[in-house]
Structure 1
Amino acid sequence: MKKTAFIFPGQGAQKLGMGQDFYEGFEESREVYDWASENLNMDMKALCFEENDRLNITRYTQPALLATEIAMLKVIEAKGIVPAVTAGLSLGEYGALVAAKKMSWQDALRVIERRGLFMQEAVPVGGAMSAVMGLDFEKVEEICRNTGGIVEPANYNCPGQIVISGEAEAVEKAGAAIKAAGAKRVAPLKVSGPFHSSMLKGAGEQLKPELSKVTWMDSDIPYVSNTIAEPVADSSAIEGLLVRQVSESVRWQQSVEKMIEMGVEVFVEIGPGKTLAGFLKRIDRKFPCITIETAEDLKKLEELVC
């Protein structure tokens, strides 16, 4: 089998109907959705499969998306396909931890339900995020440092694309300076808060007691942390990194580059949408990436990795 990385998307990838064919076709997937409905006190089938106004609310988005990713992962695991390394963008990091056998999927869902709630409740008035296209990271970082107020790099997605986050006025001011410095585009994002900025530090602190209840496991499969863009083998380090992850930058491009350096030959994006596959094309298009978002996609997976 080719050296394969399992990667998991983050908030924003969710969409109505995600995972429904997995639920209908696989017992492994039904177990995940049914457990989440019973133990997280939310109707996961209604949330993911039926028209509703909650799926894009952080409190509900995070457990719904992670349940979908895990439901898909369990089917892939049943086929005997094992990753050499895993990673996930923001909340997707919890999917990566499950795939790397660092935490149980039940613990992951319990924690992510709390994480979604804490992040929603911690959102301060006046926060904002903007996507920046076409300017190098160092220049964006410099402008953020010199703007005043709170404005920080939130996501290093791929070459030429970085997201900034913080106080609305500071984000707007930095965006104007970034545009003047030659960026092709600065686009305000429709988000409910300044995620992955220091304004969310309180939510990370709230998460500590929940993470302390997790039974961390050792395994031979490394996962690459968003926060340090390095493989983590020692399970004792994970808790602190997940606390930091809520309010620190997601180093996605650097994480992908690290996995390539580790010898990964194939990337498999597990979850709705093709966001991470799109980023990979801009990071290094030599490496194939397939997205598993429907049961039909499983055929492509077996052809590619075996």
Structure 2
Amino acid sequence: MNAYIFPGQGAQFTGMGLDLYNQSALAKQLFEQANDILGFRITDIMFEGTAEDLKQTKVTQPAIFLHSVILAKTLGDHFKPDMVAGHSLGEFSALVANKTLSFEDGLQLVFKRALAMQKACELQPSTMAAVLGLEDDIVENICAETAGVVVAANYNCPGQLVISGDIDAVNNACEALKAAGARRALVLPVGGAFHSPLMEPAREELANAIENTQFSKPICPIYQNVTAAAVNNEADIKQNLISQLTAPVKWTQSVNQMIADGASEFIEVGPGNVLQGLVKKINRDAITSAAQLNP
């Protein structure tokens, strides 16, 4: 069974999507439609902007979404998903790919999500840190014992967990994690505490937009970040998507469940190859590949 997986924030690179735009008439049409929907030429930033330009949350999130979704649409009849999943932001790309959301609605939700997250980041200084070389339960326990807000945010693969919270709590947790034997506990260059309780203002704002968006019956199950289980019901998909901003990304658990449910190949759709690497670390026998442009 083919599992299509969609990357999240951090996968962006300068010049992303230019090959799609130049080689596919459908891609060009969708990129121009996106410029109209967003009200600015995001393609100019994607194709010609600097790494710094691309790092703005309001640009990064729609840019990665567009690269992923448009690449999936250019695959045509070659795109035959038996299951889909996306890492954080990538969940929106996956929901367009499996026909739960339209291209237009998906893009508008991603842009609203980006702006809401940016606002939440400005309300309280906060950050995230990557922790390498410790068991999940040790990381969870140290977070629970640390004063302030700090939680496990991304279960990326065994021995690689990202924590998220207010700056002092994250820094203090990093010191405690290193003392407990972490190979590394490194604060990340991100604007805020994604997938933590500090994203509650963004969750409330996005919840309203999601509730007022049409969700359709998916053509295949999506393994959502919040549950790490196959979801087919539109109402459940909506609720999980609303919960996602303040809940952890259960990527390790999602991949293991997809394999248990029969996934034989994981195909990454979008910029970069981060997810292929994570899948291999979760299960070294898993077959992975990158989706290729089909003009």
Shared fold (TM-score, shorter chain, > 0.5):
yes
Which whole-Å deviations, capped at 9, do the CAs of 1:99-152 have from their partners, x for residues lacking one?
111111111001001000000011133201110000000010011011121000
Partner of 2:274: 275
Shift of 1:60: 1.3
Partner of 1:91: 89
Quote the residue 2:101 is aligned against. Answer: 103
Output the CA distance in 1 between the equivalents of 2:251 and 2:120. Answer: 24
Q: Corresponding residue for 1:126?
A: 125
Question: Match of 1:162, SS?
Answer: strand
Residue 128 of structure 2 contacts residue 163 of structure 2 at CA under 8 Å; is this kept in 1? yes
Matching residue of 2:232: 233
Residue 169 of structure 1 corresponds to which residue in structure 2? 168
Please name the residue that 1:65 is paired with: 64
- Percentage identity across aligned positions? 39
User: 1:51 is matched by which residue type in structure 2?
Assistant: G
User: 1:39 pairs with 31, 37, 60, which one?
Assistant: 37
Aligned 1:249-260 pairs, distance under 5 A: 249-260=248-259
Distance 2:56 2:246 in 1: 19
1:16-31 correspondence runs (5 A): 16-31=14-29
Distance (Å, rounded) in 2 between the aligned partners of 1:283 and 1:28 = 35
Q: List alignment gaps of at least 5 residues for structure 2.
A: none
Do 2:7 and 2:275's aligned partners in 1 also have CA atoms closer than 8 Å?
yes
Q: CA deviation at 1:45?
A: 1.5
User: Which residue number corresponds to residue 260 of structure 2?
Assistant: 261
- Match of 1:79, SS? helix
The Cα of 1:48 is off from its aligned counterpart by: 0.7
SS in structure 1 opposite 2:99? coil
Deviation per residue, 1:225-264 (Å, 9 max, x gap): 1011111110111222111101110000101011101101
C-alpha distance in structure 1 between counterparts of 2:257 and 2:144, whole Å: 26
Mapped to 1, the partners of 2:79 and 2:89 lie a distance apart of: 23
Following superposition, the deviation at residue 79 of structure 1 comes to 3.0
How far the C-alpha of 1:81 sits from its partner, in A, is 2.5
The residue number in structure 1 matching 2:218 is 219
TM-score, normalised relative to structure 1 = 0.93
Look up the SS of the partner of 2:271 in the other structure: coil
Residue matched to 1:114: 112
**Residues matched between the structures, number:** 293
What code does the residue aligned with 2:99 have? K
Equivalent position of 2:4 in the other structure: 6
Q: Distance in 1 between matches of 2:243 and 2:167?
A: 22
| Residue 33 of structure 1: how far off its partner (Å) | 0.8
